[in-house]
Chains A and B, each alone.
Chain A
């Protein structure tokens, strides 16, 4: 059972373990933010079943584990790191190895004018004032003990700043590589993305963990889109199956801006993605979508909070899951439409394909509407593969395992097809197929 005492003592222990590696010489404004986060953490209620945001996602396993800072963790041999690095896109690239910026593997030197892409450490040294303008304004440090821990233990991450009306042609790619041998370590990457009015960019984040590495990755990303800015944000979570992963994404949108986020989640033992999005300016649009596959000893959780606070904004949320073995998924999508948010247009859906009897999904789509002139809908489905479809395919000579995989891929295609970078789409499809094949082995001949 999780008690407030356990939660506090875990927080204190991680704080002590991580502070040696976290940034030491920091500007005064950052010191204040960190102190504030630490103070806030002690005021938080216990994250147990009584806490709505943590109702179906137990943090007991996390609280039982004491993580080390990443002192040794980033002293990995280069061959193992190279081995883990996925086929890169044609991109401006930042690579973080166990949370630390890796200069050799990163290719962010040759940027067009008006575009900043740097590690957070570099940005603190060279662009501290610019950083101070935005940093911490979008995220809530006291959302959970994890956002507080991230803020308190800031070590590295990335900073993107794109000037007005610049349209970046190549995507920005951030690759997180995680390797550990015997140590369970933690990292808290902290990221900030600012697109000035009319700027357009594509950001790809890839989380890759070496097999059997055990660690806790706890990133927090703040995104600010100024008027008419457009960001496509693709995220591919492919952590080790022994890893804890938490991503918290906070998006602030000015009028007529557009945020399109696609997250594909295949890995992790315990993996949670939170999107927090507030519409405080009219005529902004966002699309959040996601695909998850979960099998034995995996829990994947998506938490979305979209707040329509002003009129004429549009949000679309579409999440699909494929569950097998004893896989568990949690989906909590909450859309709030305030009383002044007239003509809001919001759609939320969550569809789950259960390949086995022992898989479990807890899904909770919620629309909370106080305005009277809105167009909103939500829906959720939980189903299994259609025996008629399987029979049809088999009657055409396709064996059962292949037919099942093709149908699952068909189910997932709606999400994967939203990625408009072909190599990434192909890679995502491969990862999906890997994950399905892993499942079809013990299931074959059923």
Chain B
């Protein structure tokens, strides 16, 4: 078992997860310190999304062994919403559309739920509108989208920006960005990356889950990990990502299998 680092935010030890009776994560270990940005890369089917869904408490992901501690607290025994209250945020690969649910109402409900849990006062409608408008401008989200139903009919880029806006509002301690770059063209990617970079802070840790090195040109990670068959098989700095870009995953996953 890993020794928890003194500046630890998230400490994952021997995490083993089954999905539909099949083991996807095989004893995964990961230490994420405060303020660090970790990139987790890996081929399709290596368990990247399983990791993000397990950390956020999605149904159907059965933890059979191991633990994940957030600030020393057992994260995996908490309900999904409680994890959000503790400061876990998952930006989804495919943000869900909520027809009939107004975007502004949704975000206010969300922010106030988190504020209540933290013992902060709820924001009234006026204060909230002011805040959300300012944050929307920062992530270059068309303010008209605030009045629409959540993600309904949004373009791929708009959905991702809407995720980053929620992240900016909720000010999480641990943000997990699941394939945030997927489906984005270069311009949209730059805007989203700028939004994420603006949220980097010594108190906030970020896990970037990505298939491609491309995102890391815009968001420079402190650490890069390669996930293969449910384990982290190699860790390094951003040079590792560049090498993966050149040589693919074969040399690592082959090595791991050997």
Chain A residues lying within 8 Å of B111, measured Cβ to Cβ, are 397
Nearest-neighbour CB distance to chain B for A98, whole angstroms, equals: 37
A27 to B79, CA, bound (A): 70
Q: Verify if A75 is at the interface (C-beta below 8 Å from B).
A: no
28 pairs, CB–CB < 8 Å, chain A vs chain B: A386-B96, A389-B96, A389-B98, A391-B59, A392-B98, A393-B98, A393-B106, A394-B80, A394-B84, A395-B56, A395-B57, A395-B83, A395-B90, A395-B92, A396-B113, A397-B85, A397-B111, A397-B114, A397-B170, A398-B109, A398-B113, A406-B98, A406-B109, A409-B101, A410-B101, A410-B149, A411-B99, A412-B100
With CB as the reference atom, state the residue of chain A lying closest to B112: A397
Contact: A392 with B114, CB < 8 Å?
A: no
Chain B residues packing against A (C-beta within 8 Å): 56-59, 79-81, 83-85, 89-90, 92, 95-96, 98-101, 105-106, 109-111, 113-114, 117, 149, 166, 170
Q: Mark out the residues of chain A between 375 and 410 whose CB falls within 8 Å of any chain B CB in the assembled complex.
A: 386-389, 391-400, 402, 406-407, 409-410
The answer to whether B98 touches A414, judged by C-beta atoms less than 8 angstroms apart, is no
Q: How many Å lie between the Cα of A387 and that of B96 in the bound state?
A: 11
Hey, which chain B residues are within 8 Å of A387, CB to CB? Answer: 59
* CA distance in complex: A348, B106 (Å): 30
If A410-B149, A411-B100, A412-B100 touch, whether A399 touches B81 (CB-CB below 8 Å) is yes
In the complex, A72 Cα to B85 Cα: how many Å?
A: 57
- Asked whether A413 is an interface residue with its Cβ less than 8 Å from the other chain, the reply is yes
Q: With a 10 A CB-CB cut-off, give which of A392, A393, A397, A414 has the most chain B CB atoms.
A: A397
The CA of A357 and the CA of B84, in the complex, are separated in Å by: 30
Q: Choose one: A388, A397, A410, A411; the contact of B110 (CB below 8 Å).
A: A397
By a CB distance below 8 angstroms, the chain A residues around B170 are 396-397
- Rounded to whole angstroms, the CA-CA distance of A44 and B163 in the bound complex is 62
Q: Which residue of B lies closest to A417 (CB)?
A: B100
Q: Are A396 and B110 in contact (CB under 8 A)?
A: yes
Tell me which residues across on chain A come within 8 A of B81, comparing CB atoms: 394-395, 397-400
Q: Given A392-B95, A394-B79, A397-B114, is A410 in contact with B100 using a C-beta cutoff of 8 Å?
A: yes
Q: Which residues on A sit within 8 Å (CB–CB) of B58? A: 391
A398 near B92 with CB under 8 A, answer: no
Known: A392-B96, A394-B57. 12 other contacts (CB 8 A): A391-B58, A391-B96, A392-B98, A395-B80, A396-B113, A398-B81, A400-B79, A400-B81, A402-B109, A407-B101, A410-B99, A414-B100
Is the beta-carbon distance between A392 and B101 smaller than 8 angstroms? no
Binding site secondary structure of chain A: helix
Flag if B98 contacts A391 (CB, 8 Å). Answer: no
Size category of the binding interface on chain A: 20 to 34
B200–chain A nearest beta-carbon distance, Å:
21
Q: Which residue of B lies closest to A410 (CB)?
A: B100
A397-B117 in contact given A391-B58, A392-B92, A406-B106 (Cβ < 8 Å): yes
Q: Which residues of A are found within 8 Å of B166, using beta-carbon distances? A: 396
B201 to chain A, nearest CB (A): 20
8 smallest A-B Cβ distances: which pairs? A410-B100, A397-B84, A396-B110, A392-B96, A394-B80, A397-B113, A413-B100, A410-B101
Chain B residue nearest in CB terms to A387: B59
Which residues of the other chain, B, contact A409 by a CB distance below 8 angstroms?
100-101
Asked whether A410 and B98 contact (CB < 8 A) given A396-B166, A398-B81, A400-B81, the answer is yes
- Bound Cα distance from A414 to B105, whole angstroms: 16
Complex Cα distance, B84 from A400, in Å, reads 13
Please judge, given known A-B contacts A394-B84, A397-B84, whether A388 and B96 are in contact too, CB under 8 Å.
yes
Residues of A within 8 A of B80 (CB): 391, 394-395
List, in ascending order, chain B residues with CB within 8 A of A399's CB.
81, 113
Kindly state the separation between the CA atoms of A386 and B151 in the bound complex, as whole angstroms: 15
Using CB atoms, name the residue of chain A closest to B53: A391
* List of B residues within 8 angstroms of A397 by Cβ: 81, 84-85, 110-111, 113-114, 117, 170
Residues of chain A with a CB closer than 8 A to B99's CB: 410-411
Closest to B116 in A: A397
CB distance from B96 to the nearest CB of A (A): 4
Partner of B84, one of A395, A407, A413, A414: A395
Contact (Cβ within 8 A) B98 A398: no
Output the least CB separation between A61 and chain B (Å).
Answer: 35
Whole-angstrom distance between the alpha carbons of A399 and B78 in the complex? 12
